[in-house]
Amino acid sequence: MLRRFVRNNVIKLHEALKVRGYRRRTAVYVKKAGLKKDNFNKAALKGFMELWSPLTNRPDINSFMMYTHLNGSEDPRFLPMDLYYCTIEPILNNKRFIKGYSDKNALDLFHQDVKAPFVLLRSIDGIIYDHAYRRIQDNRLREYFFDQAIGSRHIEYVFVKPSSDTMQGLSTLKLKVDDGRLYDEKKGVLDLHELRKLYPENFIIQEYIHQHECTARFHNDSLNTIRVLTYRSVRDDTIVPLQILQKVGKGGSIIDKGFRIGMSPDGNYNKYCTEGGKKHTDVNGLNLSSISGFPYIRDLIRCAENVAKKHIHSRILGLDLAVNRHGEVLLIEVNNIYVGIEAPQLNNGPLFREYTEEVIQYCKDKNRSFSFYFDV
């Protein structure tokens, strides 16, 4: 009884702090933008409040004003951030299973029928394996990596990243392979043992991806992935590609943390993008009104649907996909927790679109899942 009491109160405090944090973000934006409730359509505001009232006593009106201001639509289906992250996602996605299903070291096991970057080396709980999950002894590590894994594929660059919790790619390294050494522009020469210190337990070394021109045109220094948000319907389990978003880097960064461009289901790009809560009509000097569409949209959607079918404990996913220079769609990452909804809604409109009502009806009668873990 005492254990349950403590657990429930810890959860309530944790959720209250999260809700407050998300609402503070939208309130800050509304204040900086000088937005006033009186300037918005009263019928739209009323519709927003009524639509989301089954899930919360006080829907965040600042979320509606923020999305409406940037997107231009007064659709009441815009989903408040606090409601999504604290209520809807923990119901649609069972948090008890998220870590294993999103681990990059597990993707080759779950998705053997989906193309992905070739894995040269993987560390799982501090033990080193090759691409086929065969264990490599420490005294053979250097020989295997440079003579067999690297040498057989004539690789010039590699990506090193944690296999989970990548923090939007901020902990990713792009290393040059040069005469049996790995070289980083900032850290200098790194050997494999130093990498194991930087990434103590779980990391992955992948072959560098030479991306297709259709995504390289936005910013060639970063791998510009396409985020596809999929939804497995609570009504009939149909996999629905909800939102498609082109991610673009900037300023010479190797990660695509910069601009976000909305994309239609037929592969055409929006005429504007967002970055840092602001709208732009060009990306790194490239005018969006004059660019051609994404040419591999059918392959992209097919790949996303195939991946989503395997994630039986998660109904909403954020899949990061890329296209290599041969036009092949590759699975880069699976996100099943804190799946970002701000950029998709700012660029494409309400997250769940015509599925909003079924999600509300499903979630109002369900309990949220919780999973607390601590790294000490």
> With 80 as the cut, is the pLDDT of residue 6 above it?
no
**What ranges make up the beta strands (E) of 11-132?**
119-124, 127-129
Q: Spell out the residues 6+ positions from residue 229 whose beta carbon is closer than 8 angstroms to its own.
A: 241, 242, 243, 244, 245, 316, 317, 318, 319, 339, 341, 344, 351
Please give the angle made by the CA atoms of 67, 80 and 266, to the nearest 5 degrees: 55
**223 near 169, Cβ under 8 Å?**
no
Lowest-pLDDT range of 18-32, 152-166, 268-282, 343-357: 152-166
Which pLDDT tens digit goes with each residue over 179-222? 888 998 887 888 888 888 888 789 999 999 999 999 999 999 99
Where does the pLDDT of residue 376 fall: very low under 50, low under 70, confident under 90, or very high at 90 and above?
Answer: very low
Separation of first and last alpha carbons in the chain: 28
Tokens, residue 322: 């890329």
Domains with residue ranges and CATH for the chain = 2-78 (no CATH), 96-113+212-361 (3.30.470.20), 119-207 (no CATH)
- pLDDT for the residue 25: 92
Tokens, residue 134: 């065969």
| pTM (predicted TM-score) | 0.92
> How far apart are alpha carbons 346 and 67 in whole angstroms?
6
> With 70 as the cut, is the pLDDT of residue 12 above it?
no
> How far apart are alpha carbons 49 and 324 in whole angstroms?
44
